[in-house]
Structures are given as structure tokens and as C-alpha cells.
Structure 1
């Protein structure tokens, strides 16, 4: 059960999605609630601010991809060709240039906690370290990471979709800088548990959606367990038909019908099973194609536990190295020696240094 509720993690994460995927305006399908939250660029800034209701959608470079390649760059970047496109059969040539865009959104309780405690800059983190500050975000804190594909690229990747008009019927879409994007994957994390509650969603058309580790949803899917296809990669696993109980939740939240096409891959609340076997949870787009990772060797909780900062307000090289390493299982204490944890949030890597004099 999830702390403070009578729900297991699958039900809890679905109910969260029903809240943050609800349209802001009942008469318009977009934006939805999570799109109005603060981006990492809004939070980790020398001048942090909560975005205006009509702020334009901006994307950012994947932190996982950035650390995997070792190259630096700004937070806000345009849609980029993923580094591991071939593994997912994702196109690399075409017009426009095929790309996947990412955004991270943090809700108001998380934004306020980080900013009000001056944890949004390296200088603030340095001061927090000096007083041995215990970073513990409010239980209401929620983070959402979405991966988006331009509709023209999505049609190139999945020709069976047939047309952009059909994509608009099957996917949640929105526009950034005049380009229409379709949401293909979504990570969710909630501070409801001390170690957070983690879940990942994929569009039912994502190639290889249940490859490697399968798909498991005890609350929302009529087929609660879908085994991976060991005979083929990047196969289609079909629709994830919704249970009556989830259909009622979605109807109460007035979600657009497109959300019926999104599937909960699984959830996670601990590092290992009772016998010590590490849990795995990864997304076929976010970890595999964009992050250069392996789904079967990915673990949200085992990776995010290393989010931390040292006396200089920066994350240690040992902790940063855990991102491309794709850790699973219980944390390695030595990696966190001399550091304070940032409550499982890798946004700490984006805290800016003091402005040059």
C-alpha cells in the first residue's frame, strides 16, 4: 500500500494521472494540468519563477542523455535526434529531422519547497550543505517527465498510423514553437512515500512497449500482466483495455478519450523484492531510445537515490557516474559519502553556478 492511502501503487499512480492529465479548461483538450507546472528551467535558475498560465511549451535536454554522452548544454533546447534511435527503430533521416523532445514539470508544492529553501542554485546548495540541511520535500510533491515526438516524425516512425488526423485522435498533442508534438511516454514520481512512488506510462503504439520486463497494471488494465515477446523486438503489444474501475476514474476527471490509449507499464516503491532481487522499471522511449539505457537494467528508485550535492553545491563525479551506469538494487553507500541527498530529484544537476562577476 502507498503510505497514507488504502491504494496499491498502480491505483495510486493512475489516480494521480487522472488529476494532472485533466484539461485546465473543460472546453479545450489542452493544455492539461501538468503542462502548467514549473519546468526545470523555471526552478533551477538564478531567477526562479512559477510560469504564467499561458506560458509557451518549452522542452529540455534529457539529463540522462546528457550524462551518458558527457557533453554540456543549456537546460532549454529544441527537439533533438536521440542517441540510441536504432534500438527502437526510430528514424534518423527525414524532413523535418526526426527527433524526440523532453520536458520535466514539477508541481507547486515541490517548486515552493526548492525555491523557498534556496535549493535551486549551487550557492544555495553550498549553504544548505554547510548547515547539514535535510532535503525532504512535501508529500504532495509530484514530478512528471514527458517525451514528445513531432507528429510528422511519429508518422514516419509508425506508418500504420496512416495520417496526422489519426494521430490527433489517438495521442495527446500540443504545440511548441509552431510544431505539433504527440506525447509518447510519461514518467511520474510522487513523494507520498519516503522513497517516492514511481510509475511509467507508454502509448500503446510504442514499439517494444513490453519488451524486456513485460507490462504490469493491477488496477487499470483488463490484462494485468503482459509477458515480453522473447521471439521479436519492437513488436506491438496491442491495446491496454481499461478496467471499469479506471474508466470511472477517468470519466470523473473528464479526461480526453486519447488517454485511453496510454498504458501503465508498471510502478515501483522499493529497491528489491523481499529476497533481495533488484526491481527493474524502465521506459522503451525515455531510458532505451533517449537515454541510451537498457530497460531490463533500469530502476527509477535505484538511480534517483544518488541525486545529491556536496560542500561545493555540486553533485560529485561518483554520483553523476551512476546515471549512465543504470544502477539497480539497493544504494551503494560509498557513492554518497561526503554528499547530502536531494530527495531523489536529479534536477539538482541543473542548479546554476553564481553569475560571473
Structure 2
């Protein structure tokens, strides 16, 4: 059964290989240019760790701010903005009024990220809403979600920047499917001192209240590429992460897996690979925690992949694919409509309906909070309250949780 699935995937990725050749900054499937975004789905499928490092190197190459692509004339490791930092922030792709975002060309790639006082990755913010309060609830940490032009253009051209636009796919029974060139990243940054700067890729963020620019070092980078039908997932962390003792830091609770940098008998060697040009640069201080292209391994065990900075509090149950497949859209729901009105009941103020989506976390009867992992359960995709002979199911948003940032139009 699994062999049939792999053969089918190989056939499918061979069909999209030609389309992937147009990928942003790509030099073609056979290109050895280190700044070229890899575009060979066969490598992503057969050697996912090698593909992960190739992608990491391409997205961390010094950028040409005019083209928002890699600058072949620049030296790798130069302290300048890198390719992924020139992409559009998810906050700009989903305007607050649910309106159409400006075209790609109108965004300034030199925009300084502003610290607005909100703390850390979105999934941790959602986790904090569920008692008991997990670690990492306060303190300094900044994150950003960015997307390249193919991903942004697909969102803009298909109206996915608003909840109504996404619901048109639900009501029209249409499929959301990003192009093979689409890439999104999640980056986590932490404050560092000037003395630590040599060990990090760093940037300066602006404090919204004081206007002061602060030095932040890249501590984690998560990359998702649509090179495969279910995307290729990889996550990287700074080598110092397991040894820090801040409130956001709980160490590495899962072993790393890197078949490119490590020998087969010890895939958790936590070394940087040789021959990619990382030596002598601050990028040699980053480690691949693992890559993922399947829900389960060959023995049916769930594939667990976590980033300790992004999945603080639920590392041991985190799975990129099992979580992101739950990125969905459904019909409007209006909680006040279920309230009981009548004598002896206080009036309940009506609220506008909200688009329904599947939950991010699983809350066990004993209160434990876990992420979803393993093969998805079809029953969970059925919309409660809409059972019947033709039970309604959520519309998948092609694993793109960034779409949950969309706002309703007035």
C-alpha cells in the first residue's frame, strides 16, 4: 500500500518538475549555483534532508533588495538582509479590513520589523488561551511569517486574503492549491548582545513604543515548500538553543534527524553539513532538526517534528503535516444564536458570525494539551451540527495556516 503511494507521488512530482523550473531565483534542476532555490521534486522526495539544506542555503543567501532575489555577487554569510527577509510579511498579505493587499511591487523590502508588544509565535499565543498556562508566557521574543511572490500572488489573485474570499472556496466546493513554487517561512528572533552577534544572523527591530532599534538574533527558521503535493517541511534551530535557560527555552525534547550532516548510525549528531559553504560563517551555527514529507514512517509510526522555539510546551506531539492539514475553512457560526432567551435570562449581546475552522490543539479529558500527529482522522473534518446523509466537511486550505490570519470584510 505504501509502495503504491510512493510510486504515485513520484509520478505526480515528475509532472510538476517542469512547472517548478520557473521558481523564484532558481537556476534549474541541474544547477549547482548555491544561491538557486532548489526545484527538483525528486530530491525533495528521495533526499528530503539534502533538499532542506539546499533550500536553507538559498533562502539565507544575501539578497539584492531591488530584485528581492539572491545576489550572486555577494559573499555567503555577509551581514545584510537575506532572501527570505525581502519577502512579504503575512501581516501585510492579510489587511485588517479584509481588503485586497497592494501588489508585490509596492512593498518596501527594507521595511524594519516593528515590535508591537505581542509575544512570540502565533501557535504559542493560541496555546496560552487554554489553561493551564504553558511555559513561555511572557518576555522578549519576536516571530515573523513571510511568503515568497508565488505564494502571495496566489493568495491575492484568488481572494484568499479575506475570510469571505476563503469561504467562496467552501461554498463553491473549490480546491485551494498553491503553485509548486510557493514557499512560506516562520522565523523566531531573540534579543542578543553585540558580543553574541558573530554567532547569529542578526537584524535590528524597532520598538513600537520607544522607537528604539534593538539587536535581535535569528534563533529558529521553519520552511515549508510546495515542491511536493503535501509540501516539504524542514525546521532549523541555532546550536545554542538547548543550553539556554530563558522562559521560552525548554531544550530539545526530540532528537534531531539529519541524514546529510550525520552518519546513518547517529542521525542526531547535531552537526552542520560540510561542502555547502557554511564553514566560517555564522550559518555554521544552525542545525537541521528534521524534515518531513509523510504523516507516518515505514512502520506506521507518526512522524514527529518540532522546533523548540515554535512548539514550546508541545514538542513531543508536534507534527508539521498533521497540524497544517487542519488549516481549513467552513461556514459562519454565531455562538450567541445558541443562547437561551426568555424570562429570567439576561440579554446576550449579539455578535457578528465568525468563519468556522478546525482547532489547532487537542485538549485531553485530563486537561493535557497536545498537537495532532499521525494520519489525519476523517471524522474530525466533518462539521459538527451539519451531520446527515450528506455530511458537510471543512474545505482544506492546502496546509497554509497563514490563511487563518485573514480578516472579514465589512
Any unmatched runs of 5+ in structure 2?
1-5, 18-39, 65-73, 207-212, 244-249, 334-353, 364-368, 383-392
User: Which of 125, 132, 147 is the matching residue for 1:66?
Assistant: 125
Q: CA RMSD in A?
A: 2.8
Maintained 8 Å contact 2:63/2:80: yes
User: Which of 75, 79, 84 is the matching residue for 2:135?
Assistant: 84
Q: CA deviation at 1:315?
A: 5.5
Structure holding more helix per residue: 1
1:333 matched to which residue of 2? 378
Is 2:199 the counterpart of 1:170? yes
Is 2:52 the counterpart of 1:13? yes
Q: CA deviation at 1:223?
A: 8.3
1:34 matched to which residue of 2? 84
Q: 2-side partners of 1:65 and 1:351: how far apart?
A: 18
Q: CA deviation at 1:329?
A: 0.4
Any unmatched runs of 5+ in structure 1?
72-81, 87-91, 93-97, 153-163, 228-236
Q: 1-side partners of 2:360 and 2:241: how far apart?
A: 29
Q: Deviations over 1:293-350 (max 9, x none)?
A: 2x22110001000000013396535434459630110112122222100100111221
2:171 matched to which residue of 1? 130
Q: 1-side partners of 2:297 and 2:395: how far apart?
A: 26
Maintained 8 Å contact 1:171/1:183: yes
Determine helix, strand or coil for the equivalent of 1:148.
strand
Q: CA deviation at 1:241?
A: 3.9
Maintained 8 Å contact 2:121/2:188: no
Identify which of structures 1 and 2 has the higher relative contact order when contacts are C-alpha pairs closer than 8 Å and 6+ apart. 1
Q: 2-side partners of 1:206 and 1:144: how far apart?
A: 19
2:266 matched to which residue of 1? 225
Q: 2-side partners of 1:213 and 1:62: how far apart?
A: 19
Is 2:238 the counterpart of 1:203? yes
Compute the TM-score of the two structures, normalised by the length of structure 1. Answer: 0.77
Determine helix, strand or coil for the equivalent of 2:219.
strand
Maintained 8 Å contact 2:163/2:355: no
1:271 matched to which residue of 2? 295
Q: CA deviation at 1:38?
A: 1.1
1:161 matched to which residue of 2? none
Maintained 8 Å contact 1:221/1:243: no
2:113 matched to which residue of 1? 57
Question: Which runs of structure 2 are paired with 1:340-355 in the superposition (5 Å)?
Answer: 340-355=395-410
Q: 2-side partners of 1:328 and 1:141: how far apart?
A: 24
Q: 2-side partners of 1:62 and 1:203: how far apart?
A: 17
1:285 matched to which residue of 2? 309
Q: 2-side partners of 1:259 and 1:221: how far apart?
A: 17
Maintained 8 Å contact 1:14/1:220: no
Determine helix, strand or coil for the equivalent of 2:218.
strand
User: Which of 304, 317, 321 is the matching residue for 1:297?
Assistant: 317
Q: 1-side partners of 2:401 and 2:316: how far apart?
A: 21
Maintained 8 Å contact 1:308/1:342: yes
Determine helix, strand or coil for the equivalent of 2:156.
helix
Q: Summarize the Cα distance change of 1:13–1:315 in structure 2 as closer, same or farther, 3 Å threshold.
A: farther
Q: Summarize the Cα distance change of 1:133–1:336 in structure 2 as closer, same or farther, 3 Å threshold.
A: same
Q: If you compute each CA radius of gyration, which structure gives the higher value, 1 or 2?
A: 2
Compute the TM-score of the two structures, normalised by the length of structure 2. Answer: 0.67
1:319 matched to which residue of 2? 359
Q: Deviations over 1:19-66 (max 9, x none)?
A: 111111437522111011111111112241332122222467522122
Q: CA deviation at 1:257?
A: 0.9
